[in-house]
Amino acid sequence: MTYQPCSDRYKTMEYRRCGNSGIKLSAISLGLWHNFGDVNDFENSRNLVKTAFDNGITHFDLANNYGPPPGSAEANFGKILKQDFRGYRDEMIISSKAGYTMWDGPYGDWGSKKYLISSLDQSLKRMKLDYVDIFYHHRPDPETPLEETMAALDLIVRQGKALYVGISNYNAEDTIKAISILNKLGTPCLIHQPKYSMFVRDPENGLLAVLEKERVGCIPFSPLAQGLLSDKYLNGIPNDSRVATSGIFLNENHITAEKIAKISKLNDLAKQRGQKLAHMALAWLLRDARITSVLIGSSKSEQIIDAIQSLKNTQFSTEELVLINSILNN
């Protein structure tokens, strides 16, 4: 049957302006790092995208290497777009990235013009798209001149293969340099994608201040610390969890007694706020006006619905914020 998106999909979602740009992003965005590869159930992947779109999520984040195998998340997303979203491309913000190892040899990794241009061409073919909305350099390259990498992003926009560009995993210092080069080239940096959650606070050490000053958007990835910031690991490792099913980027060694003690205290506070811990973890990021959107992952449709619940309460009292910091720092 032909998919008909929910007609009131834009009623409850919040849309936030991305830095100093014309683009607004849904406060919750869906990332396709896990659960969209050839190793996953395609019908489940398809339902995840539909559930997200039905609930007002407009932004879908990919990268050349998402899978496994690398590239398969883009190919599967392309299939989903073709099957279900034919008339809806203009309602979606689709991003991809290059920067991590993608193919053998010296031209399939890091930040050369050669790699970025050819990788995006491959991504567009896999997704069967003419352009992506946002193209990111996925991680800084210590060897390639930043001028070359940023010039490649600028060229990609001028070629019409991306509408906007962003950077990911860049520290504050390199971010200032990248923004300045892009400004001179006339292709402003739309957005930065850092790892940021209650458990990973690095962006607070300068990066967020830079983004605020430069009026560049911010979309934290792994806002639930890959699922740790939920109640799911409190009583062991469920069979359907990322630790049990993937175990590559999140494994048993990450679930220490010390972490569980913190998660348990955070869970108690969330309950006092009338939220689940997953809601509170997303709300805690979204309370900050510098955050454009939080980039979640999801293995089940219910988790997407759940994430949206976090928007009901993104206010925190000073006492709550102090308590959260004391739980995290002890």
Ligand X SMILES: NC(=O)c1ccc[n+]([C@@H]2O[C@H](COP(=O)([O-])OP(=O)(O)OC[C@H]3O[C@@H](n4cnc5c(N)ncnc54)[C@H](OP(=O)(O)O)[C@@H]3O)[C@@H](O)[C@H]2O)c1
Nearer to ligand X, 244 or 322 (CB): 244
Cβ distance to ligand X smaller for residue 124 or 250: 250
Closest among 293, 287, 222, 295 to 26, alpha carbons compared: 293
Quick one: 144 or 241, whose CB is closer to ligand X?
Answer: 241
Instruction: Give the amino acid at 267.
Output: N
CA 14, 54, 298, 327 torsion-angle sign: positive
Q: Which residues in this chain contact ligand X in the complex, by CB under 6 A? A: 31-34, 61, 138, 168-169, 193, 221-227, 230, 232, 241-242, 245, 278, 295-299, 303, 306
Phi/psi at 193 (5° precision): -115, 95
CB 308, min distance to ligand X, A:
10
Q: Are strands 93-98 and 217-218 parallel, antiparallel or unpaired?
A: unpaired
Compute and round to an integer the Cα radius of gyration of the chain.
19
DSSP notation for 62-86 = --TT-TTTTTHHHHHHHHHHHHH-G
- Decide: 299 and 34 in contact? Cβ < 8 Å: yes
Q: Whole-number minimum distance, CB 255 to ligand X, in Å?
A: 12
**Distance in angstroms (rounded) separating the CA atoms of residues 115 and 281:** 36
Question: Is the Cβ of residue 209 or residue 234 nearer to ligand X in the bound state?
Answer: 234
Q: Please say which residue, 132 or 160, places its beta carbon nearer to ligand X.
A: 132
Compute the least distance from the CB of residue 251 to ligand X, in Å: 12
